[in-house]
Homo-oligomer: A and B are copies of this chain.
């Protein structure tokens, strides 16, 4: 099979005509599918409903230590929840603070606090002329929305198959004291599904920042979200590495059960050095009397420990793996041979990141929408929503049913071909 680039103009014109007919047929189907966000499907959510069978009016909602989970207190979370979330982050229980229903809110709040109160006594960022964050791209749009909201300048860092471009990260962090942070999704990155290599993690831990209040924002959102039990990516734990490198305070790690139990009704946590932890607790003692301990109780009783979590995640994997594989298969068959797009086949996480030919992403997403398939806006995985090369499209396969996902992938493949052919014909 010839790639589009290898085709003559006549061949490409013929291909384009046939694609237009195919697209017209698709449009006539009147599809309506939403692939915008990484949401678990109802069947995935069903997996955790058993949590509500272990609590009733007869439950004794006390912690192992005897604290009444129904009353005020336990600012940093109950011990068993700290222990569970430490397992997600491969850190010590004493390094954990358990929070509310969303790690995103902790990240938001961590930056808001740094803006107004600084970091361990540093100048509050709102008093500085310029604050910069490094943003590996493509990345998570909600990270970038937070930094944008606070007026923080975002510096793009290219992603490589083993993580962010560490040469550039090291240089910028070491040379520029305005660089106060970097957003990372180190395992099954959003949207590419890349897991940082041990080497990358070690280079992160060994950073020599010009700014004393520089922090790595280590959003370990997909810590346990493996698609293959026997072939999971292993992420080197960052907290011990930072300790070994003499940088114990340089990282904030975040995680949650949002895509383990219930999205928006789970628990979240932060892992950090004791110094950072004490700093955070000072703020938290003003901000709240404590997070929801009943939810911590139900989560720890239901998931139990990391073995319980792994077993639970295997059930998730069984539901979503076929969808990931279907997308991969259809794109491998329909798109790959034509030389008009690439992607990394992820071993976990929530996304497949399709890289189209330059200047095609927006048009492909628009075309898909015309056919009733709503995808995440092209550009979304970049700061300010601008993808400089207009190539990246995030596919979220978890929410639709398998048959729907297959259909959507077929439509998507048709749109990729159509837009790519048009692009080449305009040359």
Contact = CB atoms under 8 A, between A and B. Distances in A.
Given A57-B52, A115-B116, A286-B145, A72 B263 contact: yes
A42 B69 contact: no
B115 A288 contact: no
A135 to B, nearest CB: 15
A275 B63 CA distance: 43
Interface string A126-163: 11000000000000001001100110000000000000
B108 A116 contact: no
Interface stretch (A96-104, A353-361, A411-419): A96-104
A149 B286 contact: yes
A357 to B, nearest CB: 32
Query: Which has the most chain B C-beta neighbours within 10 Å: A37, A57, A109, A285?
Result: A57
A264 B99 CA distance: 12
A68 interface: yes
Contact of A292 (B71, B149, B292): B292
B293 A69 contact: no
Contact of A71 (B116, B264, B290, B291): B264
Interface in A258-303: 258, 262-265, 283, 285-295
8 contacts: A42-B68, A100-B100, A105-B287, A124-B126, A264-B292, A264-B293, A265-B293, A292-B295
Contact of A286 (B37, B59, B146, B265): B146
Given A102-B289, A150-B116, A53 B49 contact: no
A264 B286 contact: no
A39 B73 CA distance: 10
B262 A70 contact: yes
Interface of A: 37, 39-40, 42, 45, 48-53, 55-59, 68-73, 100-102, 104-105, 108-109, 112, 115-117, 124, 126-127, 142, 145-146, 149-150, 258, 262-265, 283, 285-295
A41 to B, nearest CB: 9
Given A45-B68, A71-B39, A289 B265 contact: no
A101 B45 CA distance: 22
B288 A73 contact: no
A101 B291 contact: yes
Nearest to A51: B57
A68 B53 CA distance: 19
Given A116-B116, A116-B150, A286-B108, A294 B262 contact: yes
B42 A52 contact: no
Contact of A57 (B49, B101, B294): B49
Nearest to A72: B263
A288 B72 contact: no
A72 B37 contact: yes
A73 B289 contact: no
A292 B263 CA distance: 9
A108 B287 contact: yes
Query: Which has the most chain B C-beta neighbours within 10 Å: A71, A263, A288?
Result: A71
Nearest to A69: B265
Contact of A52 (B40, B55, B264): B55
Contacts of A112: 112, 116
Nearest to A115: B116
Nearest to A37: B72
Contacts of A70: 42, 45, 48, 262-263, 265
A294 B124 CA distance: 37
Contacts of A50: 57
A261 B331 CA distance: 52
B108 A288 contact: yes
A149 B283 contact: yes
Contacts of A292: 100-101, 264-265, 292, 295
A380 to B, nearest CB: 14
A89 B52 CA distance: 31
Query: Which has the most chain B C-beta neighbours within 10 Å: A40, A45, A116?
Result: A116
Contact of A126 (B52, B71, B116, B293): B116
